[in-house]
């Protein structure tokens, strides 16, 4: 009886080894005992399956015109027309309170300080490696850059700076804008001119007043 049991075990092992060789399904281990106990009947990621004669894929195309939850469409294109339009029309929806500024400072430390520096002077560690003046200063060249252009630049990138739109949602980008504006005007003074277009308009109005 003992020899019979040993022989049966050997035969079973040989059958399992032979059946496991040359299998067509690369995911199948061969002979399985009660496979429904550990083989999930659910779809695997990115797989296709045939159901009632129809081939179905786990990756479904979104409905045309649908918007992902938590995502807000950005109407300005990444081109020479979208940048000035954003500067003229975009306004920060967040209030300039202590909480938003504090969160903006944290985001600045994570994403910006390495190039722009702690004070926004363009003297971060990476900025210094690139060369003096390569990274523009928030207290110099970019001192009067309007909030819309700052937001647009963060979203799409500008010059050597890459886009951050995929790393920061819109609320985080606006909080970052608040902190950048604080660096532009550390004493709390309002920018002299918000945009070139505004300056030209003001100059035209002034000339009209003097000619009346």
Domain membership flag for residue 48: no
Distance (Å, whole) CA 20 – CA 58? 29
Domain membership flag for residue 188: yes
Distance (Å, whole) CA 78 – CA 125? 28
Domain membership flag for residue 160: yes
Give the per-residue pLDDT at 104: 96
State the CATH number of the domain containing residue 164.
1.10.760.10
Give the per-residue pLDDT at 68: 81
Domain membership flag for residue 149: yes
Distance (Å, whole) CA 6 – CA 199? 96
Domain membership flag for residue 66: no
SS3 content of the chain, % helix, strand, coil (to 5): 45, 5, 50
Give the per-residue pLDDT at 20: 53
Six-digit token pair at 10?
Answer: 């050997």
pLDDT along the chain (212 residues), means of 10: 64 61 62 68 72 76 82 89 95 94 95 93 90 89 94 94 92 96 79 39 42 44
Identify the CA nearest to 194 among candidates 136, 148, 144: 144
Distance of CA 173 to the CA centre of its chain: 10
Give the per-residue pLDDT at 52: 81
Range of the domain at 106: 82-199
Domain tally for the chain?
Answer: 1
């Amino acid at each position: 009886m003992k020899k019979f049991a040993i022989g049966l075990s050997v035969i079973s092992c040989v059958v399992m080894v032979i059946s496991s060789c040359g299998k067509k399904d690369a995911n199948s281990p061969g002979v399985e005992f009660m496979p429904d106990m550990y083989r999930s009947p659910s779809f695997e990621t990115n797989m296709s399956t045939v159901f009632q004669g129809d081939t179905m894929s786990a990756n479904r195309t979104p409905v045309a015109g649908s918007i992902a939850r938590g995502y807000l469409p950005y109407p300005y294109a990444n081109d020479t027309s979208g940048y000035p339009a954003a500067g003229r029309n975009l306004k920060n929806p967040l209030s300039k309170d202590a909480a938003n500024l504090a969160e903006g400072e944290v985001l600045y430390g994570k994403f910006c300080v390495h190039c722009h520096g702690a004070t926004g002077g363009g003297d971060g560690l990476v900025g210094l490696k690139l060369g003096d003046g390569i990274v523009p200063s928030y207290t110099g060249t970019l001192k009067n850059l309007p909030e819309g252009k700052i937001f647009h630049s963060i979203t799409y990138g500008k010059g050597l700076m890459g886009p951050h739109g995929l790393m920061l949602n819109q609320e985080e980008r606006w909080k970052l804008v608040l902190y950048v504006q604080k660096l532009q005007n550390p004493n709390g003074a309002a920018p002299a001119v918000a945009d070139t277009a505004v300056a030209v308009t003001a100059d035209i109005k002034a000339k009209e007043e003097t000619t009346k």
